[in-house]
Chain A
């Protein structure tokens, strides 16, 4: 509080006011003021003719109670000082902030570069963190979710781990493992069901759960009730009960409370709505509208298929006091008992246990973690760049700082100011990054394939916001510390002695800058290597043949309601008529039917037996599909042996089957399988009819482009009738052009039918690559930005280097040095540092890319092609980035340079 004495009254000399600060000082100040007023009053009264003693006594009267007034004044003075001091500190901070903003306005390029750099880093991290938080960090929306585990079946022969379980095994675990307080199950697939009577026919997703599922999860119905344990079994409810998701209740049924207890027609059959789940309820990876009870037939308990068909996901809650280890021990006891009790089905079947959240987030965990690490690397590079920019500025402004110190500004004050500058910068970057991240989160949520983001609600949560601010603050401190310390440490005399010559004394900045450059190059290289591996893998994946020709094929999936289509004849008639009408449409070349599409996930699997041969030790694990006779011709799948199906293979004719190449090779070796008879278990019945193999066809990849084909049985759709079928339409032109006509044909044939999905096979193919494409694109984007920032960093450091040596370069040029010699002088240093960075980056990447192994297809994590090309590319970029400023420096006119200094 310095005051310029502009209107001093005559005779009053001003003294410096010492800011008291401490309470004792404030007290002394108050006491002195009181004494001075007493003196003044005494003086006044004396002047009015009062006797001095009386005057003093009169003046002192104001003290009142001994110490009363004094104490009051001390208090008010202390309070005043405290408030003023606080305000002064605030004022300083505001002034620093204003100063920082003013300097940014004066150097918009610097500030802009720093803010954009930070925004990119922070934005990328926010977006990725939103996904990570939604999938991995956010607890499952159940009661005590960390006490929940999943139990799955293991089989070394099939390379199964935590596979879906067989019902009979689930029931035994439920009854016999005491370490579980509750065990429940659900079918982890989304089926579709047609809802009629509520506007246009509408397809809803549905699956079945055991009666106790919601109790085990600790989820209470938002309305009505959930299922009861008894409802696991058939015959306990007529009409059968159903529990709706909150979303369907709200969007389809208008959030009507009176819906509970009412019946609604699903697939033409009445079900009774008994409850609505809470809004927050979800199971990652599943998006279910209608939950039905499993409704198993009690008579099935003893049947062999009940122990052999693996199709339920088992969830258990650990009993109080039980741990993962103790529960697993208890489980293994039961498992080995089952092995001896049921050798036919369980001899090779183990079981294991895993935290439920870990399992459900499973497939997304690694890619998200890797993406998060990449985003972190990007942020580090961004921070490094900003630190570099700040260092350069600190060097430029060292004279200003020195002058201010010489004028009495304290070290702490200067350091605080430099730190304020970087914090303001970080805050600006944080706000811009938040905006970018908000946008990026939405883009991610829209673009991320389902297996990377198996949850519905992804958004900026408080945790994301907290995370961003943490990152921003850490950034601010991290890149502010260097310049702040350095500004404060240097002795003003040293700086001023240099008289503007920038040739020496900047050792600390240089070392800082060098370290930054090395780490930036290292991180940028590691990012680019990761991207390089993913790009190579993606390119290889693109060239994999899925076993069929995806061009010009439209796939239209239908789900016939069971009530109206209650027999094989009716279903076959419908699909035959549909195909006939579709074939007549203009632009249609041919049509076929398939019970499931290739590249769309594994279809049903089971074991099989060959007639006249002993059972295989490992049972044989095969998938099966039902196809129409034209399928292979429409999809361009090769016939390798025997014949395809014909129209003559019908319900009444002998049962036939095709096998794929992998099955023939795996189970029959060199032998010709055509003519052999096989039987495979079906779900839900085990009527293992014998079928004759009539031909061998080429492999189609069932799960994904990167996953080899599994052994497959193909049955004629006319013999193995399914209501859920896909009509494949091969067109002469754009397949989407015939889509409306196909839709009209379906509606004309049966107005009450909803189309489950309509897409081209190219889209199916693209969808199967979605995860790889997304990760590759993400990494490529990160690596590009990382490299760009790295190049800016290198450019900046080398420019500084060149500027520091301008004088030397001038002298050398004056003495006749060649231009390239001078350029080399500057480039050499940038290059040496970059080589060090590349070496470190290679080391880091060799370790880091190992975790990516399962994300790569056909490329080793230490792929030599990538690990040679990418570093060379990076070095080349660095040379260019450092040569530009070097060339500029060497062009400088010697006489001018020397004169300027």
Chain B
């Protein structure tokens, strides 16, 4: 499913609001929650993560997975949390608006 512009950031932040994850985990989390509708390519996801880290919405740190592998874990920052809140608000309202328009029947 194609994503609306800017939606990916909100989705990633939403995933991270549950706790630090590495890139693959985030992808899986999104796919699981959307019953496979949101399949984001890992390469694009990593680039998005780098970009968001640059904007200091997240911080990345090397950590060790449950399977004892090294992975770069991302954690949401306070700025990220604030950004998420704003994005959720605006996405919700635009979805409501879109739904209202698209669901309108001719009278």
B51 interface residue (CB < 8 Å to A): yes
The tally of residues in A whose CB lies under 8 Å from a CB in B reads 37
Question: Which of A14, A30, A80 has the most chain B CB within a 10 Å cutoff?
Answer: A80
Query: Is A7's CB under 8 angstroms from B19's CB?
Result: yes
| B54 adjacent to A40 (CB under 8 Å) | no
What's the nearest-Cβ distance from chain B to residue A564, in Å? Answer: 84
Report the Cα distance A6→B60, complex, angstroms.
15
User: Which residues in chain B, 13-67, are within 8 Å of chain A measured between CB atoms?
Assistant: 19-20, 22-25, 28, 41-43, 46-47, 50-51, 53-54, 56, 59-67
**Given known A-B contacts A12-B66, A36-B70, A43-B67, A76 and B61 have beta carbons under 8 A apart:** no
**Residue A254, interface by CB 8 Å:** no
User: By the criterion CB–CB under 8 Å, are B64 and A39 in contact?
Assistant: no
A36, closest chain B residue (CB): B71
Chain A residues 51-90 with CB under 8 Å of chain B are 62-64, 69, 72-73, 76-77, 79-80, 83-84, 87
Determine whether A299 belongs to the interface, using a CB cutoff of 8 Å to chain B.
no
Expressed in whole angstroms, the Cα–Cα distance for A84 and B60 within the complex equals: 12
Q: How far is the CA of A41 from the CA of B41 in the complex (A)?
A: 12
- Interface flags for A6-19 (1: CB within 8 Å of B; 0: not) read 01111111110100
The distance in angstroms between the C-alpha atoms of A33 and B74, with both chains bound, is: 12
B5 at the interface (CB under 8 A from A): no
Known interface pairs A37-B42, A79-B54; A7-B63 also in contact (CB < 8 Å): no
- Is there a chain A Cβ closer than 8 Å to B92's Cβ? no
Question: Do residues B54 and A84 form an inter-chain contact, with CB atoms below 8 A?
Answer: yes
Q: Tell me if A676 counts as interface (CB < 8 A to partner B).
A: no
A44–B32 CA distance with the chains assembled, in angstroms: 13
B56 contacts A87, C-beta separation under 8 Å: yes
Given A14-B61, A72-B47, decide whether A36 and B69 contact each other with a Cβ distance below 8 A. Answer: yes
Tell me if A466 counts as interface (CB < 8 A to partner B): no
Chain A residues, CB < 8 A from B47: 72-73, 76
1/0 contact string of A133-155 vs chain B (CB within 8 Å): 00000000000000000000000
Q: B38 to nearest A CB, angstroms?
A: 16
Please give me the residue from chain A that is nearest to B60 by CB atom.
Answer: A17
What's the Cα separation between A36 and B42 when bound, in Å? 11
A32 is an interface residue with CB less than 8 A from chain B: yes
Q: Are B50 and A40 in touch, CB under 8 angstroms?
A: no
The answer to whether A37 and B61 have CB atoms under 8 Å apart is no
Q: Interface size of B by Cβ–Cβ distance < 8 Å?
A: 32
A156 at the interface (CB under 8 A from B): no
Contacts of A73 in B (CB 8 A): 43, 46-47, 50
Q: Are A9's CB and B70's CB within 8 A? A: no
Q: Would B64 and A15 count as touching, CB distance under 8 A?
A: yes
CA distance A69 to B65 in the complex (A): 23
Shortest distance in angstroms between B54's beta carbon and chain A's nearest beta carbon? 4
The answer, among A10, A40, A76, A84, for a CB contact under 8 Å with B22, is A40
Q: A42 CB to closest chain B CB, in angstroms?
A: 10
Q: Is the pair A1, B65 in contact by a Cβ cutoff of 8 Å? A: no
Give per-residue flags for A215-236: 1 if the beta carbon is below 8 A from chain B beta carbons, else 0: 0000000000000000000000
Interface check B81, CB cutoff 8 A = no
Inter-subunit contact A37/B23 (CB<8 Å): yes
The residues of B that contact A64 with a CB separation of less than 8 Å are: 43
* Cross-chain contact A9 with B20 (CB below 8 angstroms): yes
A3 part of interface (Cβ distance < 8 Å): yes
CA distance A12 to B19 in the complex (A): 12
Assess the A12–B54 pair: CB atoms within 8 A: no
Contacts A36-B72, A76-B51; is A62 near B66 (CB within 8 Å)?
Answer: no
Whole-angstrom distance between the alpha carbons of A767 and B35 in the complex? 95
How far does the alpha carbon of A133 sit from the alpha carbon of B42 in the complex, in Å?
A: 65
Chain A residues, Cβ within 8 Å of B28: 44
Contact of A13 among B20, B42, B63 (CB under 8 A): B63
**Judging by beta carbons under 8 Å apart, are A17 and B24 in contact?**
no
Proximity string of chain B (62-92) to chain A, C-beta cutoff 8 Å, 1 when within and 0 when not: 1111110111110100000000000000000
Tell whether A39 pairs with B69 under 8 Å between CB atoms, given A12-B63, A13-B63, A33-B46: yes
**Chain A nearest Cβ from B30, distance in angstroms:** 14
Q: Which residue of A lies closest to B71 (CB)?
A: A36
Neighbouring B residues of A12 by C-beta, 8 Å = 20, 63-66, 73
Can you name the residue of chain B whose Cβ is closest to the Cβ of A72? B47
Q: Does A764 contact B (CB under 8 A)?
A: no
The distance in angstroms between the C-alpha atoms of A83 and B72, with both chains bound, is: 19
B residues in contact with A338, CB < 8 Å: none
**Distance in Å: Cβ of B68 to nearest Cβ of chain A:** 9
> A80 to B66, Cβ gap below 8 A?
no
Could you say which residues of chain B place their CB within 8 Å of the CB of A72? Answer: 43, 47
Q: In the bound complex, what is the Cα–Cα distance between A17 and B60 (angstroms)?
A: 8
The residue in B28, B46, B60 that gathers the most chain A C-beta atoms within 10 A of its C-beta is B46
Bound-state CA distance A15–B73 (Å) is 10
Q: Contact: A80 with B63, CB < 8 Å?
A: no
- Which residues on B sit within 8 Å (CB–CB) of A778? none
- Which of B20, B56, B60 is close to A7, meaning CB atoms less than 8 Å apart? B20
Cα A77 to Cα B46 in complex, Å, equals: 9
Tell me which residues across on chain A come within 8 A of B23, comparing CB atoms.
Answer: 33, 37
Alpha-carbon distance A711/B62, docked complex (angstroms): 98
A33 interface neighbour in B54, B56, B64, B72, Cβ under 8 Å: B72
- Residue of A whose beta carbon sits closest to that of B47: A76
Is A879 in contact with chain B by the CB < 8 A criterion?
A: no
Residue of A whose beta carbon sits closest to that of B43? A69
Q: A860 at interface (Cβ–Cβ under 8 A)?
A: no
Q: Which residues of B contact A76 (CB under 8 A)?
A: 46-47, 50-51
In the complex, which of the residues B19, B42, B51 contacts A62, with contact meaning CB atoms closer than 8 Å?
B42
A886 to B63, CA, bound (A): 63
Counting chain A CB atoms within 10 Å of each CB, which of B19, B71, B75 scores highest?
A: B71
Which of B24, B56, B60 is close to A41, meaning CB atoms less than 8 Å apart?
B24
- CA of A410 to CA of B67 in the docked complex: distance in angstroms? 39
Given A76-B51, A79-B50, are A40 and B20 also a contact pair (CB < 8 Å)?
no
Q: Is A34 an interface residue (CB 8 A)?
A: yes
Contact at A44–B64, with CB atoms within 8 Å? no
> Bound state CA distance, A39 and B70, in angstroms?
10
B42 CB contacts on chain A under 8 angstroms = 37, 41, 62
For the complex, give the distance between the alpha carbons of A8 and B22 in Å: 13
List chain B residues, Cβ under 8 A from A37: 22-24, 42, 46, 71
Docked Cα-Cα span, A79 to B63, in Å, equals 22
In the bound complex, CA of A788 to CA of B91 (Å): 67
**Chain A residue nearest in CB terms to B48:** A76
CB-CB under 8 A from A1, the residues of chain B are 59
Residues of A within 8 A of B20 (CB): 7-9, 12
Residues on A with C-beta less than 8 A from B59 are: 1, 3
A36 to B61: give the CA distance in the assembly, Å: 13
Residues of B within 8 A of A41 (CB): 24, 42
B69 to chain A, nearest CB (A): 6
**Which residue of the partner chain, among B24, B50, B62, B71, contacts A77 with CB atoms under 8 Å?**
B50
A80 to B47 alpha-carbon distance, docked (Å)? 10
A26's nearest neighbour on chain B, judged by CB, is B50
For the complex, what is the distance from the CA of A17 to the CA of B24, rounded to whole Å?
20
Q: Looking at the complex, which one of B54, B62, B73 makes contact with A80 (CB distance below 8 Å)? A: B54
Residues in B with CB closer than 8 Å to A29 are 72
Residues A13 and B50 in contact, CB atoms below 8 Å apart: no
Q: Could you tell me the distance between the alpha carbons of A39 and B42 in the complex, rounded to whole angstroms?
A: 12
In the bound assembly, the distance between CA atoms of A36 and B19 in angstroms comes to 19
Q: Are A80 and B53 in contact (CB under 8 A)?
A: yes
Q: How far is the CA of A29 from the CA of B49 in the complex (A)?
A: 13
Cα distance A32–B69 in the bound complex, in angstroms: 11
Q: Write the chain B residue with the least CB distance to A84.
A: B54
* Complex Cα gap A72–B50 (Å): 11
What are 11 inter-chain pairs, A to B, with CB distance below 8 A? A3-B75, A12-B64, A12-B66, A15-B64, A32-B62, A32-B72, A43-B67, A63-B43, A64-B43, A72-B47, A76-B51
Besides A15-B61, A73-B46, 5 new A-B residue pairs in contact (Cβ under 8 A), listed by A number = A11-B65, A14-B61, A36-B69, A36-B70, A73-B50
Residues of B with Cβ closer than 8 Å to A? 19-20, 22-25, 28, 41-43, 46-47, 50-51, 53-54, 56, 59-67, 69-73, 75
Which 8 pairs show the lowest CB-CB distances between chains A and B?
A40-B24, A76-B50, A69-B43, A80-B54, A17-B61, A11-B66, A33-B72, A36-B71
